[in-house]
Amino acid sequence: MAKTELLIFPSHPSSPSSLILSLQVHVKMADETVCVGPAPTSKSYLNMDAIMEAIKKTRAQAVHPGYGFLSENKEFARRLVSLLILIVVDISMGDKIESKLLAKKAKVNTIPGYDGVVKDADEAVRIAREIGYPIMIKASAGGGGKGMRIAWDDEETREGFRFSSQEAASSFGDDRLLIEKFIDNPRHIEIQVLADKHDNALWLNERECSIQRRNQKVVEEEPSTFLDPETRRRMGEQAVSLAKAVQYSSAGTVEFLVDSKKNFYFLEMNTRLQVEHPITECITGLDLVQEMIRVAKGYPLRHKQADIPINGWAVECRVYAEDPYKSFGLPSIGRLSQYKEPLHVPNVRVDSGIQEGSDISIYYDPMISKLVTYGSNRAEALQRMEEALDNYVIRGVTHNICLLREVITNSRFVRGDISTKFLPDVYPEGFKGHKLTDPEKRELLATATSLYVTEQLRSQRFLGTPRVAIVKPDVKRWELSVQLGDATHSVTVSNNGSTFSVEVDGMKLNVTSEWNLASPLLSVTVDGSQRIIQCLSRDASGNLSIQFLGTVYKLRILTKLAAELSKYMPEKTVEDTTSILRSPMPGAVVAVSVKPGDMVSEGQEICVIEAMKMQNSMIAAKTGKVKAVHCKTGETVGEGDLLVEME
């Protein structure tokens, strides 16, 4: 019987973290595991010698390189072939510079740009001026948004070259860069191709990938609402012609930028399995990994172009351990104290490699899972996605479910009016969470106060003892004061069994639920409208955190008397954040640009933090003198750690 080999990379093999890693889902699924190095990618995932040694040690017959790291590395493929080991991918188009030249020869529409390797920042500026701003700086060996920067002037080009080359080296072990014209406000639509070694090639329809942040996809769907059958056919045929021109043989993706007039331009070809491949599997019925293995073994394709259907609609949301309130998603780390996937929702697929108790670290991509829903049409697929997001339980790390839910329910997204600038266009001041309508606010207040009263009633009961209360509680009506945001609301609650009658700001609502306070999910019905909520925390001071419509709301519920007395409590002093710089995320310090006594200007770079393979420049909030520096290059910092103090 065939074995599934797996390579794993704990930070310290003898530490408790390795014990945690041994509990990971992908490790449990493997028949045999091999440690190839510590957690930093340069010492593990990009350590080609260690990986090759593990392959030899386990006598592996085939290697599927997955999504990133060495999956498009020609040297890795060459070394595998030299050992007569089957590699389940074709990296003939893995280099972005070479792939663009080949695309031109195959007469595929391409974006104007420089076709060689950019040597340094000065050459980058010269090329950018020749092409004309704005320009896109990209890692030649890259993908997944790593090593990519948009530049609108010379200064941004120099900065972009520095960060892109460093990210490319860290993520792919290759710091070569290319530059091309940046097409503003396009759609990002890609064609899935499948080709064999017998000159057969198919296009498996398109994936709409325009919802992005930092050039990384966040929400994908298939098919696209934008393409008509003729444009779909032309894009598919160009993608297949490119695959045939280079004698490509595997599953691959040809990515295009599409303008408002449906003109499309070749962006790059990813010669590997894409993260978003499940939505293609949903609407075509093909297992792409199985097809890749068959092709690598030399079998011909089993299907013709006419056999490829578009059956229904599929949507994928990338669930990240990120704080969406910071630049649409800065990384979060921690241990998953509670984790429950919404697999009880019909037509839901969750691809993940973690479980309750897993650690999310600073070393790798912050993706928790790929959440996929399928429906007979787009409205059904989106409705199921909304339900799945509401039923997804993730505790212990900050996550982006609130952003995902807001995107898929946004009116512009629902009508298909999207582009790669969707997030900054819809949220120009940054993401702020769901904005409650007046009826929704009343629902939330009614639900929260019913939950509060339920807990008060439960605390008055004695279980497993004949003890009788000395004074029988006889409260039939609760008059409460609820603080939500900057507003305070008067709420009156009375109950009859599991049903509460709640008066909020003069309006009455009926709230019903099973009120299982131990369950992470609560199904609540308010005036006939059913919602799934999550009570994330509650304490004896009346503070509640409730996830409602995807967004977490913090409320404080007090009795009328307690509310009157609370105004005499002293308030905490607000910290002056202009004179200090704290890390907005956990990560590693890769550069410190100042020392005590230096004068800095507002907006000047202070240090650089690398988090989950992305480099982030930390800047001064005001002009002044540096008083103290609390970090060093190479150190690991946590979210909120003090980096620099100003006088």
Residues annotated as catalytic (active site), given as ranges: 268
Distance CA 477, CA 500 (A): 10
Label residue 551 exposed, middle or buried (CB < 10 Å: 0-12, 13-18, 19+).
buried
Nearest-angstrom CA–CA distance, 286 and 298: 18
What is the rounded (10 degree) CA torsion for 271, 276, 282, 286?
20
Residue type, 464: G
DSSP string, 548-607: ETTEEEEEEEEEHHHHHHHTTSPPPPPP-GGGEEE-SS-EEEEEE---TT-EE-TT-EEE
Cα 645 from Cα 629, distance rounded (Å) = 6
Structure tokens at 292: 């890749």
Query: How far, in Å, CA of 81 to CA of 206, rounded?
Result: 32
* Burial status of residue 110 (CB atoms within 10 A of its CB: 0-12, 13-18, 19 or more): middle
Can you say how many angstroms the Cα of residue 527 is from the centroid of all Cα atoms in its chain?
35
Q: Identify whether the C-beta of residue 529 lies closer than 8 Å to the C-beta of residue 511.
A: no
Residue 241, phi then psi, degrees to nearest 5: -65, -35
Pick the closest to residue 318 from 358, 277, 266, 359 (CA basis): 277
If one counts every other C-beta atom within 10 angstroms of the C-beta of residue 396, the result is 19
Two tokens, residue 346: 């019909």
What tokens appear for 459 in the block? 């605390």
Task: Give the helix/strand (H/E) hosting 103.
Answer: helix 96-105
